Amino acid sequence: MRIAIAGGGPGGLYFAALMKQLDPAHQVTVWERNAPDDTFGFGVVFSDETLTGIAGADAVVHAAMERGFARWTDIDVDVDGHRFTVGGQGFAAMGRKELLQILQRRAAELGVRVHYRTPAPDVDELSATHDLVLAADGVHSAVRAARAGAFRPSLDGRRNKYIWLGTDLVFEAFQFFVKQTEWGTMQIHGYPYSDEGSTFIVEMHEDVWRRAGFDRTAGREFGPGESDEYAVGRIAEIFAAELAGHRVRTNNSRWLNFTTVRNERWYDGNVVLLGDAAHTAHFSIGSGTKLAMEDALALAACLHERPTVAEALEAYQAERRPVVESTQRAAQASLEWFENIGMYAGQEPAQFVFNLLTRSRRITFENLKERDPEFAALMEREFARSQRSAETVPAMFQPVRIGPLRLSNRIVVSPMDMYSAVDGVPGDFHLVHLGSKALGGAGLVMSEMVCVSPDGRITPGCPGLWNDGQRDAWRRVTSFVHERSSARIGLQLGHSGRKGSTRLMWEGMDEPLPDGNWEVIGPSALPYGPGCHLPREATRADLDRVVADFAAAARRGVDAGFDLIEVHAAHGYLLSSFLSPVANRRTDAYGGGLENRLRFPLEVFDAVRAAVPERIPVTVRISATDWLPDGNTDEDAVEIARAFVAHGAAAIDVSSGQVAKEERPAYGRSYQTPFADKIRHRVAGPAGVQVIAVGAISSYDDVNSILLAGRADLCALGRTHLYDPQWTLHAAAEQDYRGAGAEWPVQWQAGRRRPPTSRTDRVPPRLSLLREGPAGPVHLRWRPERRIGVSA
Q: Which residues are catalytic?
A: 573
Q: Sign of torsion, CA 234 237 243 249?
A: positive
* 340 within 8 A of 160, measured Cβ to Cβ: no
Q: Pick the closest to residue 492 from 469, 523, 458 (CA basis).
A: 458
Distances (CA, A) of 581 to 524, 612, 627: 10, 31, 12
Please give the Cα distance from 77 to 24 (Å, whole number).
48
Q: For residue 246, what is the DSSP state?
A: P
User: What is the Cα gyration radius of the chain?
Assistant: 30
Q: For residue 407, what is the DSSP state?
A: E
User: Counting beta carbons within 10 angstroms of the beta carbon of residue 542, is it exposed (0 to 12), middle (13 to 18) or buried (19 or more)?
Assistant: middle
Length of the chain: 792
Please give the Cα distance from 447 to 460 (Å, whole number).
17
How many Cβ atoms from other residues are within 10 Å of residue 315's Cβ?
A: 17
Please give the Cα distance from 469 to 471 (Å, whole number).
5
Q: Pick the closest to residue 680 from 622, 638, 646 (CA basis).
A: 638
User: Counting beta carbons within 10 angstroms of the beta carbon of residue 465, is it exposed (0 to 12), middle (13 to 18) or buried (19 or more)?
Assistant: buried
Residue 61 CA to its chain's centroid (Å): 35
Q: Pick the closest to residue 714 from 673, 666, 775 (CA basis).
A: 673
Please give the Cα distance from 161 to 183 (Å, whole number).
14
Q: For residue 682, what is the DSSP state?
A: I
* 280 within 8 A of 259, measured Cβ to Cβ: yes
* 708 within 8 A of 383, measured Cβ to Cβ: yes
- 2 has which bridge partners? 27
Please give the Cα distance from 568 to 623 (Å, whole number).
10
* 621 within 8 A of 566, measured Cβ to Cβ: yes
Q: Pick the closest to residue 294 from 276, 310, 282, 312 (CA basis).
A: 276
Q: Pick the closest to residue 445 from 393, 483, 493, 485 (CA basis).
A: 485
* 257 within 8 A of 157, measured Cβ to Cβ: yes
* 76 within 8 A of 175, measured Cβ to Cβ: yes
Query: What ranges in 87-129 are assigned the alpha helix state H?
Result: 96-109, 123-129
Distances (CA, A) of 512 to 459, 498, 565, 649: 9, 11, 29, 34
Q: Pick the closest to residue 714 from 700, 727, 703, 725 (CA basis).
A: 703
State in Å, rounded, how far the first CA of the chain is from the last one: 51
Helix (H) or strand (E) holding 598: helix 594-611
* 259 within 8 A of 158, measured Cβ to Cβ: yes
* 658 within 8 A of 633, measured Cβ to Cβ: no
Distances (CA, A) of 22 to 18, 105, 109: 6, 17, 14
CA angle 114/116/122 to nearest 5° reads 80
Q: Pick the closest to residue 781 from 89, 65, 64 (CA basis).
A: 89
Q: Pick the closest to residue 716 from 621, 584, 609, 595 (CA basis).
A: 621
- SS3 label, residue 442: coil
